[in-house]
Amino acid sequence: MIARRTVLLSVTALASGLPGAALAQFERFAIAELSIVTAGGRRKFTVELAVTPAQMMQGLMFRRTMAADAGMLFDYGHPVNASMWMKNTFIPLDMLFVGADGRIVNIHERAVPQSLDPIAAAAPVRAVVELNGGTVARLGIKPGDRVILPGGG
């Protein structure tokens, strides 16, 4: 199982404050559209896709801002016992744990920046969607809402 942030990210130079060459270690992410169907309608987001182990470990670490309609998708492709943390993540995040059927299993709102506390799915999930903290409350996103993954999955 590859669950993001359960293994330390290999950016010790960056963590110790050396920008420059350390920034070259950052992963790049493909971008896609994702929709969440809520009682209030369909909400669209532009998400970065964390698909490789290195991308999943990095996630949104070291970011200071993120657009209101942006996020990150961790699509494991099959159900896993996903667990996240907020190490080196500077913005609060809402985490949506998405089952194999595309329905939101559980939500963790406003994860505390830089916390090492594990944030786990309530059951095996296919994917995790991270959005800006407060997005879930603002848009009325709830467990049971449907997430339409890139490619229609």
pLDDT of residue 39: 95
Least Cα distance to 146 among 102, 95, 100, 99 occurs for 102
Cα distances (Å, whole numbers) of residue 72 to 3, 13, 66, 149:
14, 24, 10, 11
Is-contact 50 59, C-beta < 8 A? Answer: yes
- Supply the pLDDT for residue 26: 84
The DSSP letter of residue 132 is E
Q: Which residues of the chain fall short of a pLDDT of 70?
A: 1-24, 153
Q: What is the pTM of this model?
A: 0.84
N-terminal to C-terminal alpha carbon distance within the chain: 20
Do 42 and 121 meet the contact criterion of CB atoms below 8 Å apart? no
Phi, psi for residue 114 in degrees, rounded to 5:
65, 10
As a whole number of Å, the CA-based R_g of the chain is 15
Residue 153 CA to residue 142 CA, distance in Å, equals 19
- Report pLDDT for 25: 72
Binning the chain into helix, strand and coil, the percentages to the nearest 5 are: 15, 40, 45
CATH architecture of the domain covering 28-152: Sandwich (2.60)
Joined together, the tokens standing for residue 12 give 């010790």
pLDDT in tens, 48-88: 999 999 999 999 999 999 999 999 999 999 999 999 999 99
